[in-house]
Structure 1
Amino acid sequence: MTSHRHCYLHRALLPSRWISDGALSGIAEITSFLYLGRGSVASNRTLLLAKGVTCIVNATIEIPNFNWPQFEYVKVPLSDMPHAPISLYFDSVADKIHSVARKHGATLVHCAAGVSRSASLCIAYLMKYHKVSLLEAYNWVKTRRPVIRPNVGFWKQLIEYERKLFGKCTVKLLPTPCGVIPDVYAKERRHLMPYWRI
């Protein structure tokens, strides 16, 4: 990361307030106008209003929208399966998040667990509108919500999206005895290896 990009990333993404339990709770603040969470958060109207949420992106098939009048709803009907075409929604969801922010609102992007589908959409948004690489976007979101783990099919689509946006790839897929995984998962595993019993 260049020093210029480093400064831009932190200036653009640093939240106005810190959610101390964002790693373990159902909701994490990705930027001051973007939240990532699990499905149960979408049922907590008091919390959403307190956070200033005005738009809810529901990236599931299995969870219905509550359709409360205080919120705009966007349905992204996807299963958390590697073959699900999440890339079809990268641009439209990113554009919606950006549009809501320009109107001084905030968006919650959720799926069932807040781990794969919603995380992938937030990563795509950061790449498109904050001009950061896939690796930088993933690391930023993981810092805010460490439980994220997009499935391998979503990684393939994010890698292609990065190539489309920037003409390069900062994450690679690696073959392993258990199948293909992104190199970021391999690095995380090596980092944790001393604590694992293999």
Structure 2
Amino acid sequence: MNLEMFNQIASITDHLYLSSAAAVKPDRIRAVGITHIINCTLDIPNLHLPTIECIQIHVEDAAHARLSIYFDRCADKIHQVHNRGGRTLVHCVAGVSRSASLCIAYLMKYHRLKLVDAYNHVKARRPVIRPNAGFWTQLIDFEHRLFGRNSVRMIQTSFGWIPDVYKEETKHMVRFPSRRY
């Protein structure tokens, strides 16, 4: 795996960017033209620059965490910023689960992409994304609310419940029994 990918700011659209917290540096933010940041971490402080508006969403990267309560709010904010000519960066700690899920929700709501297409779009631009199973369930519910149908479903595997878009990559994986000490 290319670990440098974790430190990159990925362009999802011409006005939406996705990264890890490590990539959020003043010079890099200015170079990309970011005007707004959505920070979805529990304890990484917002970047304080006079020209950048930051929003912090305190949510765990855990299957039980309720990220969906922020789908509309964040998608609407990204859309408003774009309409005013701004650019939004969404980040969490690694730029893999929480922030990727919010970018996917935005693409579904404002670009009218099916969940599978929104996921594939974001994955093509930041290959390390991997929303957790709980966020997938919430994205599936969000897609149904938006479109009245679903393009992704959760399936039972030896690894537990996963979205069917992960099926191919887990096909040749082997589950090792946990050892008790």
TM-score (norm 1): 0.83
- The share of aligned pairs that are identical, in percent, is 51
Q: 1:122 to 1:106 in 2, by over 3 A?
A: same
Bigger Cα displacement from structure 2, 181-190 vs 141-150: 181-190
1:67 is the counterpart of 2:28: no
Distance 2:164 2:95 in 1: 21
CA RMSD across the alignment: 1.7
Corresponding residue of 1:147? 128
Deviation, 1:25, is 3.8
User: How many residues are treated as equivalent by the alignment?
Assistant: 173
Distance 1:46 1:34 in 2: 18
> Unaligned 5+ residue runs, structure 1?
1-20
Q: 1:181 to 1:105 in 2, by over 3 A?
A: same
1:122 equivalent among 103, 108, 121: 103
Deviation, 1:27, is 1.3
Deviation, 1:22, is 8.5
Regions of 4+ moved over 3 Å: 21-25
> Unaligned 5+ residue runs, structure 2?
176-181
Letter in 1 for 2:94: A
Letter in 1 for 2:104: I
- Give the secondary-structure state (helix, strand or coil) at the position aligned to 2:89: strand
Kindly provide the CA deviation profile for residues 2-47 of structure 1, in whole angstroms up to 9, marking residues without a partner as x.
xxxxxxxxxxxxxxxxxxx9945431000010100000122x1111
2:154 equivalent among 158, 162, 173: 173
TM-score (norm 2): 0.91
Deviation, 1:137, is 0.1
Distance 1:168 1:94 in 2: 20
Counterpart contact for 2:143–2:150, Cα < 8 Å: yes
